[in-house]
Amino acid sequence: MIIELPDTNVSKISRALVNVREEGGAVALGRVLTLIIATRRGLEEQVIEAANDASREHPMRVIVLIVNGGDGDDADARLDAQIRVGGDAGASEVVVLRAFGAAGSNPESLVTGLLLPDAPVVAWWPGDAPPMRAESPIGRIAQRRITDASTQDDPASWIAGLGESYAPGDTDFAWTRLTRWREQLAAVLDQPPYEEVTAVEVRGASDSPSTALLAAWLRLKLDVPVAYSYLSADEWPHGIKSVRMTRAGGDIVLERPTPGMAVLTQPGQPSHDLAFPRRTLRECLAEELRRLDPDVLYGRVITEGWSLLDPPEATETNG
């Protein structure tokens, strides 16, 4: 069910939500958090779909905030809203706010009256994000703040600056996409012969911010030299390509021959084919919502681990 509320205000939206609950269209008691999505017009349906899917694991209220709606700051001040419940909202309540002109000058005031009482708040910027998330109007009211380096104009520069702007509670989907890689590499090193890793090489696509983060994590955890490099689009289209860990008894290699699978090669053992698909937006969001406390390891990787890394060995792009 979709309820349109044109030219409205926060009080009217709040009353409409109460009416929907009283009429049995939605039940708020099971909601565990409020997710605020600050996005731009044209991207809202994609992120709402991801939030709806994630809500089946994390029932929540979703507030989608679109400031100015793409019509510029000189538009007439107006707030349009839309409430989605039931089949149009997964296991959540979705409130879409489109603020035009001066109505979008104070984003915090637009969402504060719609937050679930006594529930954690998570902020997500699926596209452009403020450089200092924790000090932004939306970031100040959130316990967790999620960004996505892959959607920034310059992903490499964004990743390089995460450590300087980090505050506890920050995270980025470039880190979330590493979960499978980190689990697999840690599992390999937990098996005999327990030889010391002496060097590591990480390779990835030129548009992959996760490549550098994986290198920083390995540098922090293994305390050995870690080199990382980027491949041209012809060599590898997206994401991480391979990790090579050097030990006295031979190299351990985890490499993707194709985007959806990886091959693990170890000395004295047969090769293993592993399912390694690129993670969806829904999967990344659902994982981040499983923990609402600060991700201490992520903070250490983008500050301590990053500071120990040398620049990438080479960057190859199609000319």
Q: pLDDT tens digits, residue range 57-78?
A: 999 999 999 997 545 555 689 9
Task: Answer whether 252's CB lies under 8 Å from 188's CB.
Answer: yes
Distances from the Cα of 183 to the Cαs of 42, 85, 178, 214, in angstroms? 35, 37, 9, 12
Please, which pLDDT band fits residue 86 given cuts at 50, 70 and 90?
confident
When mean pLDDT is compared across 134-143, 201-210, 267-276, 309-318, the lowest value belongs to: 309-318
> How distant, in Å, are the alpha carbons of 32, 153, 239 from that of 88?
19, 32, 32
Q: So what's the pLDDT on residue 319?
A: 37
- For the chain, the average pLDDT equals 91
Percent above pLDDT 90 for the chain:
81
For residue 92, the model assigns a pLDDT of: 79
Q: With contact defined as beta carbons under 8 Å apart, do 202 and 185 qualify?
A: no
User: Residue 11's pLDDT is what?
Assistant: 96
Per-residue pLDDT tens over the stretch 244-299: 999 999 999 999 999 999 999 999 999 999 999 989 999 999 999 999 999 999 99
CA distance 275 to 280: 14
Q: Which of 16-30, 184-198, 275-289 has the lowest mean pLDDT?
A: 16-30
Predicted confidence (pLDDT) at residue 53 exceeds the cutoff of 50: yes
Domain boundaries, the chain: 2-173, 179-275
- Counted residue by residue, the chain has a size of 319
User: What DSSP line would sit under 208-258, residue for residue?
Assistant: -HHHHHHHHHHHHHH-S-EEEEEE-TTT--SSEEEEEEEETT--EEEEEEE
Q: Which of helix, strand or coil describes residue 11?
A: helix
Q: How far apart are CA 296 and CA 171, in angstroms?
A: 10
pLDDT above 60: residue 317: no
Distance CA 171, CA 300 (A): 12
pLDDT at 74: 58
What is the pLDDT at residue 24?
64
Q: Is the per-residue pLDDT at 29 higher than 60? A: no
At 95-151, the pLDDT tens digits run 999 999 999 899 999 999 999 999 999 999 999 999 999 999 999 999 999 999 999
